[in-house]
Amino acid sequence: MLKQALEYIVGLGEAKKHEINGFTYSDKELHLVTEPTAETIVVHSLDGIIEFIMNSHGFQFPVIVHVQSPTIVRVIGELTSNREWNEYIRAEALLPSIPFGRFLDIEEFNILLQSCFVENEGRSKVLRVVGNIKEEDVRTTGDNGVSQVVTAKTGVATVEDVLVPNPVNLKPYRSFVEIEQPESGFVLRLKNGPAAALFEADGGEWKLTAMARIKKYLHDNLNPLIENDDVTIIG
């Protein structure tokens, strides 16, 4: 009697299939029993990825290094039985927050340029202009929305009109510090206040450049394992 009761109770918990108009339905909600995957380690540099792979901590080759974006690189292993990747380690770049497209007062803008951009000719030109702007004297010339003139100090006591450089090539920190930061074009705009803003003007091409440089950096440092087909880099 007890055995029959238990069999009846178990039977109540079993899902039943029904065929309706060529489709298979279940009378109960089903949940996939998944195979465990690795707990992902998170680092913040490309060198962390390289060190992990070269010491092969707790995984088996081959592995895939996926350059997902200019700021994320993943190391993944074989698929589980339920078609999920084992993600062993992921690098996420630590980057400053750069407010592109937003006007900042000149002092804040000046600090931003010096702290969040790699030194190059474009940065030097912009700093020369914004560092010497005379208060409340920014005006636009022409009608194309690009050409601007500001009144700036050009000597110890001389104040003259200075043409704002546009577009300007700059190298903000936007990817891992191990690679050379991509240089791209920006539109510099000024307004009374005075205030300045930078607008990205390369259509996102810098992302492809950064990813190519990440792949090269990883390839150069993991070359022995790549030649043995232990590591494949994709991006």
Which of the four pLDDT bands, split at 50, 70 and 90, describes residue 19? confident
Which of the four pLDDT bands, split at 50, 70 and 90, describes residue 16? confident
3-state secondary structure of 216: helix
Residues 6+ apart with CB under 8 A from 136: 192, 193, 194
Range of the domain at 121: 104-202
Asked, for residue 33, whether it belongs to a domain, the answer is no
Asked, for residue 147, whether it belongs to a domain, the answer is yes
Asked, for residue 191, whether it belongs to a domain, the answer is yes
**What pLDDT is stored for residue 201 in this prediction?**
92
124 and 188 in a common domain: yes
Q: State how far the Cα of 112 lies from the Cα of 208, in Å rounded to an integer.
A: 24
Which is more confidently placed, 84 or 219? Answer: 219
**Using one digit for the tens of pLDDT, what is the confidence trace for 77-126?**
887 777 778 899 999 999 999 999 999 998 999 999 999 999 999 999 89
Mean pLDDT of 15-35: 73
Asked, for residue 124, whether it belongs to a domain, the answer is yes
pTM for the full predicted model: 0.76
Q: Are 170 and 122 in contact (CB under 8 A)?
A: yes
Kind of pairing, strands 85-92 and 41-43? Answer: parallel
Q: State how far the Cα of 157 lies from the Cα of 83, in Å rounded to an integer.
A: 71
Does the structure show a pLDDT above 50 at 61?
yes
140 and 55 in a common domain: no
Number of domains in the chain: 2
Asked, for residue 63, whether it belongs to a domain, the answer is yes
Mean pLDDT of 12-19: 68
112 and 198 in a common domain: yes
111 and 87 in a common domain: no
137 and 86 in a common domain: no
142 and 217 in a common domain: no
152 and 226 in a common domain: no
170 and 89 in a common domain: no
182 and 114 in a common domain: yes
**Using one digit for the tens of pLDDT, what is the confidence trace for 135-175?**
545 554 443 455 555 554 444 333 445 566 788 999 999 99
**What pLDDT is stored for residue 23 in this prediction?**
80
**Using one digit for the tens of pLDDT, what is the confidence trace for 171-215?**
999 999 999 999 999 999 888 778 899 999 999 899 999 999 999
Torsion, CA 193, CA 196, CA 199, CA 202, rounded to 10:
150
Asked, for residue 64, whether it belongs to a domain, the answer is yes
Q: Within 74-139, where are the H helices?
A: 106-116, 121-130
198 and 142 in a common domain: yes
117 and 185 in a common domain: yes
Main-chain dihedrals φ then ψ at residue 198, nearest 5 degrees:
-115, 135
Mean pLDDT of 39-46: 93
**What pLDDT is stored for residue 155 in this prediction?**
40
